[in-house]
A and B are shown apart, each in its own frame.
Chain A
């Protein structure tokens, strides 16, 4: 009985795959066949649109329409029944919990971006000269392979706290106690908890920054470095005056990518502290308004603010990336 059910399930899955991909193939074949009936000059102009239309339709349905809908809801009350004008936005920029979230997000932005990028850069340059480069790079890159939630679980153990006198199972507190100090509640102490969370993100993103920057550093011709050395530059001067300017565009791309990621940060905060004790960020505030307090208007308004904050960074990123491609 169980076997037949499984068999049916398997067959359904196969049918779905065959019909799904077959359907797409049939769609493109059909469209292509139709277009081929057109006169030659028209054909080459119509064909790209024919191929792009399905993708554009899917994007519109699942990305653009929900965005417009969110925008509309953000001007309505908690149950989306009446327009309330800018009330939700005024709330978002005046409410004290929101202000803390904004402050925290700013802290995240500045610290994660600057520290990840500069650490990544220093490691990229140093790793270039060690004999076991692939191993060193793999170790530093490893955290990238871990999900935010997984990383948070790992760091919960690092930050674990037991009252004084009990055995400390957290790595950090074990060290602190061994050095003769009182254990610290890393996640509850308001002066350090935000930084404790930010460290996790830095740990995750440094590898990403390092890998991209390392390939850029390797792209600098050896001759140019040697020419600088003969011109009398020491290693420090080479780093500042040759290496950094030559990989400038990669630094910008990496920075903006991390900025976008940090603007959207949510998982780490949600798993580690749930946003309590002044650790909320914009995205975790949004989830709370939306799903805990069921205030769709406010949640949507915060979402729109987040979207607006990301747009300029995305534009800058794409521009830079195109520029970099041109420079290749």
Chain B
């Protein structure tokens, strides 16, 4: 268990590229923190700085209150699982897992017992004599995890450990890692570009973009209350729909006007939006908050409007519909699979006005 703190951490490479900028982040001792963001956003660099594989340009990293900037990886008591697994190809699975213990000078019997225990836990006890080359991708991934857990480290660092697995295995491995975290109760810092992994596994998620931390919160809060347009657009698939918009008063009612869209603002948030009257805004709504009126559930605040269907993707459990407004603006809806929408048709869809987002167009920050 380790309490990890990034304090004003910046990473600038020799060529001047700033990979991580002024990062402040505190990771609780038993937390599963997921660092997520598009490729090149600096998330892996953060992990490598924490591991000691990359020097820190500015700021400090603390583990349990100790500044570790100058410590070598071996002095940090952390284990890491690499995207490529980075198994030692010339060693058997047993030796791969035992390597760190051998270096520490752990007694042989102890090593034997700990490797055996970790192997049993991961279901790889039958593979201990094999070489990495003789293993499947899923088995290699387990060995890589096993190599980390035999050490009983203060923190586990994982750099996209599931991205080389096929889709089915990935779902399974996701659940197994979550279980492992619960069982070990240790700090996990997990890097991924896959927002599904982030949502399903993280106790908290830190979203990064272009070296800057955008938001840290629980999956639920991040999804429902994104701080800015980047987080709103990054979390969720298909991504949130955005419309250039502005607020117009009409008598007592505030309206969101976005090209061909004209949507009444629910009474509950009208007051708080008064200062933004006349500003350039962005209106956002997630595809799942748009319905085929025929199958709209109760309890939403539906506003119907007309749109033309261009493409229909039938997924079985849902339907992804590509729609366009009269003014040509395109957006996506995730609707009930029983819907009869056909490409080329002009249909009525319902926007749930309880679940919309407004952002300032210039700063991209969320309002409300």
Give the segment of B78-86, B113-121, B217-225, B270-278 that binds chain A. B78-86
Q: Are the CB atoms of A237 and B86 closer together than 8 Å?
A: no
B69 to chain A, nearest CB (A): 16
B243 interface residue per 8 A CB criterion: no
Task: Take A224-B88, A246-B90 as given contacts and tell me if A229 and B74 are in contact as well, using a CB distance cutoff of 8 Å.
Answer: yes
Cα-based distance from A208 to B151 in the complex (angstroms): 41
What 1/0 mask marks residues of chain B from 25 to 55 whose CB sits below 8 Å from any chain A CB? 0000000000000000000000000011100
**CB within 8 Å for A246 and B89 given contacts A227-B80, A230-B53, A232-B100:** yes
Q: Are B103 and A248 in touch, CB under 8 angstroms?
A: no
Residues of B near A242 (CB, < 8 A) are 88
B147 CB contact (under 8 Å) in A223, A231, A233: A231
Given the complex, which residues of A lie within 8 Å of B100, measured CB to CB?
231-232
B99 on the A face (CB < 8 A): yes
| Cβ–Cβ contact A223 & B89, under 8 A | no
Cβ of A228 within 8 Å of any chain B Cβ, yes or no, is yes
Q: Pick the contact of A221 from B51, B84, B90 — CB < 8 Å?
A: B84
Task: Name the one of B74, B87, B89, B91 contacting A230, with C-beta atoms under 8 angstroms.
Answer: B74
Answer whether residue A234 sits at the interface, using C-beta atoms and an 8 A cutoff.
yes
Tally of A interface residues using CB under 8 Å: 18
How many of B's residues come within 8 Å of A, CB to CB? 24
Q: Which residues of A contact B79 (CB under 8 A)?
A: 230
Q: How far is the CB of B110 from chain A (nearest CB, A)?
A: 16
**A214-254 toward B: CB 8 Å interface, digit per residue (1/0)?**
00000001011011111111100100011001101000000
With contact pairs A230-B53, A234-B74 given, residues A223 and B103 touching in the complex (Cβ less than 8 Å): no
Interface flag for B73 (CB, 8 Å) = yes
Q: Are A230 and B90 in contact (CB under 8 A)?
A: no
Residues of B within 8 A of A248 (CB): 90
The interface bits of chain B over 48-79 (1 if a CB of A lies within 8 angstroms of the residue's CB, else 0) are 00011100000000000000000011100011
- A contacts with B: majority SS: helix
| Partner pick for A233 among B53, B87, B91, B103, CB 8 A cutoff | B103
Q: How far is the CB of A226 from chain B (nearest CB, A)?
A: 5
Determine whether the beta carbon of B84 is less than 8 Å from that of A230: no
Asked if A231 contacts B103 (CB within 8 A), the reply is yes
The smallest C-beta distance from A217 to any residue of chain B, in angstroms, reads: 14
B90 and A245 within 8 A (CB): yes
Q: How far is the CB of B77 from chain A (nearest CB, A)?
A: 9
Measured in the bound complex, the distance between the Cα atoms of B273 and A18 in whole Å is: 90
Instruction: List B contacts of A223 (CB < 8 A).
Output: 82-84, 86
Chain B residues with CB below 8 A from A233, complex form = 74, 99, 103
Whether B84 lies near A237 (C-beta < 8 A) is no
The chain A residue sitting closest to B157, CB to CB, is: A230
Query: In the complex the two chains form, what is the Cα distance from A227 to B80 in whole Å?
Result: 7
Could you tell me the distance in whole angstroms from the C-beta of B141 to the nearest C-beta in chain A?
Answer: 14
- Residues of A near B89 (CB, < 8 A) are 224, 246
Asked whether, in the complex, the Cβ of B103 is within 8 Å of the Cβ of A229, the reply is: no
Q: Which residues of B contact A231 (CB under 8 A)?
A: 74, 99-100, 103, 147, 151
Contacting pair A228 B99 (CB below 8 A): yes
Within 8 Å CB of A228, what residues of B?
Answer: 88, 99
Q: How far is the CA of A228 from the CA of B78 in the complex (A)?
A: 12
Complex Cα–Cα for A230 and B100 (A): 8
Indicate whether B104 reaches chain A with its CB closer than 8 angstroms.
Answer: yes
Residues of B within 8 A of A246 (CB): 88-90
- Chain A residue nearest in CB terms to B78: A230
Chain B residues with CB under 8 A of A245? 90-91
Q: Which residue of A lies closest to B144 (CB)?
A: A227
Q: Are A237 and B88 in contact (CB under 8 A)?
A: no
User: In the bound complex, what is the Cα–Cα distance between A221 and B72 (angstroms)?
Assistant: 20
- What are 5 A-B pairs at a CB distance below 8 A? A223-B84, A226-B53, A226-B86, A231-B99, A245-B90
Q: Which 5 A-B pairs have the closest CB atoms?
A: A223-B86, A231-B100, A227-B86, A232-B74, A245-B90
